[in-house]
Structure formats: C-alpha cells, structure tokens
Amino acid sequence: MSPLWRGTNRYVPNACDNVATFLPARVVGQDMAIRHLVNAVCEHVREGPEGAAGWGASSRHQQGQQQGDAAVAAAALGGGGGGQPLTLMRRKPLVISVHGPPGTGKTYTHTLLARALYNRDPATAMSCPGQGCVGAKVLYGLSYVSEEQAGQLAQVREAILDHLRSTPHPMLVIEEYDKLDCASRGMLRQLIRHPELISTDMSRAIILLESNLGFLELESLLTAVKGNKSQIPPETAERVLRHAALSSWRSSDCERIDDSVAFAATIDHYLPFFPLTREDITVLVEQEMATNYAARLAARGGSLAWEAEVVRWLVGKVDFDSGSYPLEGATQVAAVCVRFLAHLFRAVEMELHSTAAAAAAAAAAGPHGGLNAADGQHKAPLPLEAVEFRLVVAPGGKELRLLRRSQAPARAAPASSSSEPPSGSM
C-alpha cells in the first residue's frame, strides 16, 4: 500500500467503496442511518463533469448567500471587513445531523467513516482520530463559563478555520451539538451557512452535527412498531428529527426564528440512530465473544465454542428498561463480558502459556518428550491445535464455566473471527 493514501488529508480514490462496505459490516442495529449515510457520502465525494467532486449533489446545495447576509456572517466569524467584495463558492459542505440516545453507535460510526474516507484499507487505520485519519477533526463540548467564553471560543474558531483551510478534504464532527451555548452555536451556524467567508473552497468538506435531540421521539416510533425498525419509513424518522431540532433551537432564545429556519435549511440529511433492541444486544454479545475471547484463545492455539444459552445468559445481565431497550445502549456489553468472562479466560491463558512452555521443553529434550510426573513416563504434550474450550452455563444458572475438551481436529468457534470491536462504543 502506498503511504500516499494511508492516513492522508484527502479522500482516497476508493472512499465510496470503503464506506459502502466498511460501515454496514460493523455497525449493529442502525441499518437505516448507515444506508442513508453511505448514499449521502458517496454522492458527495464522487467525481462528476469537469472533475467537480460531488457534482450530483450540487442541485440541492446552496450556491451562495446575498452579500448583505454574508457581511453579517463575516462579523460573527470575526472577519470579512474592509468593504471588500466576497467571492462566493460554488457549493456548500455536506452537512449531516446525527441524532439518537447515548450508546447507539454515533461516535463509532463517525470513527469508521473517517477510517474509510482517508485510508485505502480502513481496517489497518486504528489510530483514528489521529494519524490514521488526519483529515478528520472532532470537537467535544464547546460550552464555557462566562469569564472564559470569549477567549476560548476565539481559540476554537481559529482551530476550526485552520483545519478547514489546511485540509483539502476536511471532515468536522461536532459532538453534543444540542448542548452548545448560544455563542458557540452562533459561530458554527454562521460558518456552515456562509462557508465562503473562510476564503477557501469547502465544497468537499463533510460536517457532522451529533446530538441526543429527538431520542424520545425515535423511541416512540420504535415502540409503535414493536421494535421492528424496518417498519419505520425513513421520511417519517427524518421529519420527526427535523421538527425536534428546529423546536429545540427556537426554544433556546439564541437567535431569531428566521435564523433557525435558515440554518435548518443548510442541513442536508438527518440520521436516526434508534435505541438498540434485545436482538441488537444479542448480536453485540456474540461479536464481543468472537472478536475478543475466542480470538485470545486462538492466538494461543486453542479454540472456543459456546451454545445459544450462554449468549442469552449474558444478555440477561444487561440492564433493560420497560420497553426492552438497554439503558446504556451498547456500552454495557463489554462490561458484562468482563465481569463474567474475563477471569475464566485469564486462567485458561495462563494454562495455555504453560502448555506451550512444556511443548517447547519437550521438543528440546528430544523425540521422547518430557517426563510426566504422575506416572514417571516420558510423554509428548498434547498439540495446542487440539485444545478446545467450551463455554457453558453452570448447573443452577448462577455462573458460566469454561470447560476444556481435547480432540483432534479442534472445532471452530461458532462466531465471526473478525478483529473489529463491536459497535456502539461511545
């Protein structure tokens, strides 16, 4: 792989293919949002007539604002003075508003998106945000105490502008957008409405606004269809989120109603991240068992098998509300596995390490193997490839047990061997 396309600040040539395959394979329970995101991003990054990126989306993008509005925006951003005419850019950035309760995969999704956009092989880009995707910038919490607000907001504004100006294909993520104070939101609103003010082409930029706004409405939609997300029309979810966002902005008294409406018009897409269901948590538990615990045994020459009863037992340790939605989304999955599985696997790893050491010692001792202390006979240790472990629910159902069973050949683990972590980590 050429280093030119690994961790760059430009979208890689296969960015759309990456996004279309990498995200759906890893994000659990959010098919509607991921499908919408893939379509929006692929349209935005594709090359069109005259080499114009994202040409297919240009008809729905604003081409500029009146100079009077732009002058007001310039003042809000701290620039654009002197009476000089403004050069309006042909196209605005792609702006996506992402909504849903905590633990449903919003942060995980934008991390995967950055890996897919800036790396030919996103599976190898583990330091993201960071060197694996330097084109992406994530901002957390832009609310400040009053005496520090002006100075800190100016620093944040300069950091945003520097990133957008210095990055050919920038991605900007604003987490917890719904919690911003009026000054922070005003600065971002003017930047998004008037991208021409930063004196650079933002037509290839992607801006994600993430918030918990509308999560109660999404839960109501999901409950009405008894947890079957496929029964919810995408346009219904988007309409509900647009209304929730606009209502929140209008009630904050940060701006005039017409400003709120104008800003809402700059948002191209609203993505619904629905509450996870018991079925989603079941998938995540199996992913955690396969990608963490089974993989750990495989690295030491063992294999792991389990029955559906074990997965149901672990899912039962996750806290659900009365509507059968996990209270903490996916974040509790790893914690439950650590609580009930980690000590079992640590003990087995120590055993396998000792077995490997014994095998090495026997090989060094010659063809007769090592001495078995129990019967005084020289026996070669069992090959590690023949060691199988089986995870079961103990009699009485109060705990899990990891049982060792040797056979040749070993049985394969019943779940995926992907090295990716489960989705929804926030």
Domain with residue 246: its CATH number is 3.40.50.300
Helices (H) and strands (E) in the chain, counts: 13, 10
The total of structural domains in the chain comes to: 2
- CATH code, domain carrying 394: 1.10.8.60
Residue 418 domain-assigned (yes or no): no
Same domain, residue pair 192 and 258 = yes
Residue 411 lies in a domain: no
Same domain membership, residue 356 and residue 258: no
Q: Is 55 among the domain residues?
A: yes
* Residue 386 confidence (pLDDT): 61
Same domain, 267 and 332: no
The pTM (predicted TM-score) of the whole model is 0.79
Mean pLDDT, each 10-residue run in order, the chain (426 residues):
60 95 97 98 76 41 40 43 39 91 95 94 83 86 55 80 90 89 82 76 91 94 95 97 89 81 90 97 96 89 91 96 88 96 89 75 67 50 66 95 65 46 48
CB of 110 closer than 8 Å to CB of 126: no
Residues 259 and 290 in one domain: no
Instruction: Give yes or no: residues 51 and 106 share one domain.
Output: yes
Q: Are residues 129 and 74 in the same domain?
A: yes
Residue 19 within a domain: yes
Q: What is the pLDDT of residue 375?
A: 53
- Residue 415 has what pLDDT? 46
What domain range is 7 assigned to? 3-272
**Contacts of the segment 31-34: beta carbons below 8 A, 24+ positions apart:** 31/229, 31/230, 32/229, 32/232, 32/234, 32/237, 32/272, 32/274, 33/98, 33/100, 33/109, 33/271, 33/272, 33/273, 34/109
| Nearby residues of 359 by Cβ (< 8 Å), 6 or more positions away | 381, 383, 384
